[in-house]
Amino acid sequence: YLARRTPSTGASYLTRRGFASDSAPVRKVAILGAAGGIGQPLSLLMKLNPLVSRLALYDISGTPGVAADVSHINTRSEVLGFAGEEQLEKALKGADVVIIPAGVPRKPGMTRDDLFNINAGIVKSLCGAVAKYCPHALVNVISNPVNSTVPIASEVFKKAGTYDEKRLFGVTTLDVVRAKTFYAGKAKVNVADVNVPVVGGHAGVTILPLFSQATSSANLANEEIEALTKRTQDGGTEVVEAKAGKGSATLSMAYAGAIFADACLKGLNGVPDVVECSFVQSTVTDLPFFASKVRLGKNGVEEVLGLGALSDYEKQGLEALKPELKSSIEKGIKFANA
Q: Which of residues 42-81 bind ligand LMR (CB under 6 A)?
A: none
Name the E strands within the chain: 28-32, 54-59, 78-83, 97-100, 138-141, 168-170, 198-200, 207-209, 274-281, 289-297, 300-304
> Which of 28, 167, 202, 293 is flagged as catalytic?
202
Among 229, 250, 285, 328, binds ligand NAD (CB under 6 A): 250
> Nearest to residue 129, comparing CAs of 108, 100, 172?
100
Of 51 and 177, CB closest to ligand LMR = 177
Site string (96-115) toward ligand NAD, x via CB under 6 A:
-----xxxxxx--------x
DSSP 8-state secondary structure symbol assigned to residue 165:
G
Angle at 33 between CA 262 and CA 158, to 5 degrees: 75
Is 248 a binder of ligand LMR (CB under 6 A)?
Answer: yes
Size of the site for ligand NAD (CB under 6 A): 31
- Residue 106 in contact with ligand LMR, rule: CB under 6 A: yes
Residue 240 is a binding residue for ligand LMR (CB under 6 A): yes
By the rule CB under 6 A, 325 interacts with ligand LMR: no
CB of 22: closest distance to ligand NAD in angstroms?
A: 33
Whether residue 106 is annotated as binding a ligand: the answer is: yes
Separation of alpha carbons 7 and 9, rounded Å:
6
Q: Give CA–CA dist 310/219, Å, rounded.
A: 16
Partner interacting with residue 33 (select from ligand NAD, ligand LMR, none; CB below 5-8 Å by kind): ligand NAD
Can residue 112 be called a binding residue for ligand LMR (CB under 6 A)? Answer: yes
To the query of whether residue 202 is one of the catalytic residues in this protein, the response is yes
- Which residues neighbour 234 within 8 Å (Cβ) at sequence distance 6 or greater? 204
Q: Which H or E run includes 327?
A: helix 312-337
Cis upstream peptide for 216 (omega within 30°): yes
Helix 251-268 and helix 173-187, axial crossing angle in degrees, nearest 10: 110
Q: Residue 50, interface with ligand NAD (CB under 6 A)? A: no
Q: With respect to ligand LMR, which residue has the nearer C-beta, 68 or 242?
A: 242
Q: Rounded to 5, what percent of the chain is helix, strand, coil? A: 45, 15, 35
58-66, 235-243, 281-289, 306-314 -> range binding ligand LMR (CB under 6 A): 235-243
Q: How many CA atoms lie within 13 A of 162 on its CB side?
A: 19
What is the smallest separation between the CB atom of 31 and ligand LMR, expressed in angstroms?
17
CA–CA distance, 177 with 180 (Å, rounded to integer): 5
DSSP codes joined into one string, 200-219: E-SSGGGEEE-GGG-BS---
Task: Work out which of 239, 254, 265, 277 binds ligand LMR, going by CB under 6 A.
Answer: 239
Interface ranges with ligand NAD (CB under 6 A): 32-33, 35-39, 59-60, 101-106, 115, 119, 122, 126, 142-144, 146, 171, 174, 202, 247-250, 253
Interface ranges with ligand LMR (CB under 6 A): 105-106, 112, 144, 174, 235-236, 239-240, 248-249
Residue numbers annotated as active site: 202
In the annotated binding site for substrate, the residues are: 106, 112, 144, 178
